[in-house]
Amino acid sequence: MQENLKLEELSELLNSRQLRKLKEVLTEFNEMDIAAFLEEQEAEKTVLVFRMLPKETASEVFAFLEVEKQEYIINSITDHELGTIIEDLYVDDVVDMLEELPATVVKRVLQSAAPDTRKLINQFLNYPENSAGSIMTAEYAGLKKDMTVEQAFDYIRKHGVDKETIYTCYVMNSKRMLEGVVTVKDLLMNPYERFIGDIMDTNVIKAVTTEDQEEVARRFRKYDLLSLPVVDHEDRLVGIVTVDDVVDVMEQEATEDFEKMAAMIPSEKPYLKTSVFQLAKNRIVWLLVLMLSSMITGGILAKYEKAFAVIPLLVTFIPMLTDTGGNAGSQSSTMIIRGMAVGEIHTRDIFRVVWKELKVAILVGFVLGMVNYIRLIILYPGKEMLCLTVMLSLMATVILAKTIGAMLPIGAKVFHMDPAIMAAPLITTIVDAISLIIYFQLACSLLGL
């Protein structure tokens, strides 16, 4: 509420062209809020306001902008201005931006960057997508073992302003190999004359450039980290991952799992920014696969045409059976997929998990079956065998659905497939088919069809 009010004030100043006053007021705003304000402005006004910002603020605001605005600004400013911004940005933010910009704009950005920066950007662009390397940044504070606390402070005072974090400093030897970490808190708690080598923590939690970003996020959660050093395969420090990027990774990975489990190809952009055509494309693939696979279920039903020609009532229980089976199965697969995503359940737990799900399934299946039997026996007095058929089918369906629901995601993981994709959309189709076979087989034998 308050934020919107303040942004309105900025708009008013801009629209009434009180530019000097606007420039003054802008200094009181948070970079994120200025970015939000710029997002709302039309193209020319964006550049007008952007140029009003003090140099340091400008780069930070730029990093917060959506890629469309960034592109517009890049195309409207001079090479020199662009070069200054690129130098001020953290290399991970530049890389994120370049991955979304058109090739011609990328070329101009790289040309405007200083040679060292350009080399670094190119190196970072080569890390595989979703790897630790792809989310790290190069702006860390590096210290040496033989520095004193006082020298460390001098170093931080001199170079700290450009670093993404100074609160954890990394101690390297002459080959840039990581020897320890020391926090600013450690520095503050120790006398000026002590050596970094004596106060650093040598038990460093780190990641390798090629490790998966989900693994990195798990390490942050487990050890409550603010930053994590990333080393190459020769154990040389190449960058750090900071917690703000990990927060984004966690949100993004959870969103992807939601999308996959609802049978969609994960989208690159937020919902409101994704085109109708792209959304349709992401959704239609799985819908087609699942539609065609539910024809198998249709084929099974066709085999029992005679059964429901004799007792049409049998058909009316199909939705209840298949829906309950589907729901019971996705309950199990969801728990297991999520458990694996947060690192609680591992493939080695397969027997334990399946056994647990089996016990839950028997409990749940029994209760559901009994409730159903009582309901049916009241509704259809005298049709005990039919009621029994429905009850037994329901119990068997729930037990099978939950067992399959537990095994599918772990099985997918064993074969290095994505549990979220493999298990969630497929479970309904599989459970549908199996439950109908059980139902009609039971009906044929119990009702003598």
For residue 195, state whether it binds a copy of itself (rule: CB under 8 A): no
For residue 429, state whether it binds a copy of itself (rule: CB under 8 A): yes
Strand partners, 143: 171
The stretch among 10-18, 42-50, 97-105, 359-367 that binds a copy of itself (CB under 8 A) is 359-367
Q: What distance in Å separates the CA atoms of residue 284 and residue 399, rounded to the nearest whole number? A: 31
Pick one of 16, 18, 122, 316: the residue that binds a copy of itself (CB under 8 A). 316
Determine phi and psi for 193, rounding to 5 degrees: -90, -5
**What DSSP designation does 265 have?**
P
Would you say 116 or 351 has its CB closer to a copy of itself?
351
199-238 residues near a copy of itself, rule: CB under 8 A? 202-203, 205, 220-226
Q: What is the DSSP string of 100-122?
A: TS-HHHHHHHHHHS-HHHHHHHH
Could you tell me the strand order of the sheet in which 227-231 lies?
207-208, 227-231, 237-242
334-353 residues near a copy of itself, rule: CB under 8 A? 334-339, 342, 344-345, 349, 352-353
Q: What distance in Å separates the CA atoms of residue 92 and residue 195, rounded to the nearest whole number? A: 32
Would you say 123 or 190 has its CB closer to a copy of itself?
190
Q: If 0-12 CB within 10 Å is exposed, 13-18 middle and 19+ buried, where does residue 409 land?
A: buried
Q: What distance in Å separates the CA atoms of residue 432 and residue 372, rounded to the nearest whole number? A: 19
Torsion of CA 247, 249, 251, 252, to 10 degrees: 160
Would you say 279 or 385 has its CB closer to a copy of itself?
279
Q: Count CB-CB contacts under 10 A for residue 172.
A: 18
Q: If 0-12 CB within 10 Å is exposed, 13-18 middle and 19+ buried, where does residue 239 land?
A: buried
Pick one of 276, 378, 381, 448: the residue that binds a copy of itself (CB under 8 A). 276
Pick one of 272, 348, 351, 378: the residue that binds a copy of itself (CB under 8 A). 272
Would you say 223 or 415 has its CB closer to a copy of itself?
223
Tokens describing residue 203: 């038990």
Would you say 77 or 369 has its CB closer to a copy of itself?
369
Q: What distance in Å separates the CA atoms of residue 36 and residue 112, rounded to the nearest whole number? A: 26
Minimum CB distance to a copy of itself, residue 192 (Å): 11
139-158 residues near a copy of itself, rule: CB under 8 A? 153, 156-157
For residue 305, state whether it binds a copy of itself (rule: CB under 8 A): yes
Cα distances (Å, whole numbers) of residue 372 to 129, 315, 327: 50, 16, 16
Strand partners, 201: 181
Would you say 209 or 428 has its CB closer to a copy of itself?
428
For residue 5, state whether it binds a copy of itself (rule: CB under 8 A): no
Tokens describing residue 302: 């066709």
Would you say 334 or 389 has its CB closer to a copy of itself?
334
Q: Count CB-CB contacts under 10 A for residue 374.
A: 12
Pick one of 213, 354, 432, 439: the residue that binds a copy of itself (CB under 8 A). 432
Helices (H), 165-304: 184-189, 196-199, 213-223, 243-261, 276-303
Q: What distance in Å separates the CA atoms of residue 69 and residue 394, rounded to the nearest whole number? A: 56
Minimum CB distance to a copy of itself, residue 234 (Å): 17
Minimum CB distance to a copy of itself, residue 33 (Å): 9
Tokens describing residue 204: 């460093």
The stretch among 73-81, 94-102, 207-215, 300-308 that binds a copy of itself (CB under 8 A) is 300-308
The stretch among 46-54, 83-91, 115-123, 298-306 that binds a copy of itself (CB under 8 A) is 298-306
Pick one of 89, 237, 241, 250: the residue that binds a copy of itself (CB under 8 A). 250
Tokens describing residue 220: 């942050």
User: 403 near 357, Cβ under 8 Å?
Assistant: yes
Would you say 237 or 328 has its CB closer to a copy of itself?
328
361-400 residues near a copy of itself, rule: CB under 8 A? 363-364, 367-368, 371-372, 375, 398
11-40 residues near a copy of itself, rule: CB under 8 A? 28-30, 32
- Binding characters for a copy of itself, 161-190, by CB under 8 A (x = yes): x----xx----------------xx--xx-
Minimum CB distance to a copy of itself, residue 238 (Å): 20
Minimum CB distance to a copy of itself, residue 315 (Å): 6
